[in-house]
Amino acid sequence: MGQDKNPQVILVEDDQPLARLMIYCLQQAGFSVEHIMEGRSALEMVNRQQLPALIIIDYLMPYANGLRVTNALRADSLWQAVPIICISDLLSEDTMIGSLRLRSDGFLTKPIQPEKLVKLAKRLSAPDHEIDLIFED
DSSP 20-39: HHHHHHHHHTT-EEEEE-SH
Buried b (16+ CB within 10 A) or exposed e, 23-62: bebbeebebebeebbbbeebbebeeeeeebbbbbbbbbbe
Q: Are 43 and 10 in contact (CB under 8 A)?
A: no
Least confident range of 35-39, 46-50, 121-125? 46-50
Residue 62: per-residue pLDDT: 73
**pLDDT band at residue 132 using 50, 70 and 90 as cut-offs:** low
Give the residue, 74 or 128, on which the prediction is more confident.
74
Strands (E), the chain: 8-12, 32-36, 54-58, 84-88, 106-109, 134-136
Asked whether the predicted pLDDT for residue 27 surpasses 70, the reply is yes
The pLDDT of residue 97 is: 59
Round the CA-based radius of gyration of the chain to a whole number and report it: 14
- Which of 37-46, 69-78, 96-105 is predicted least confidently? 96-105
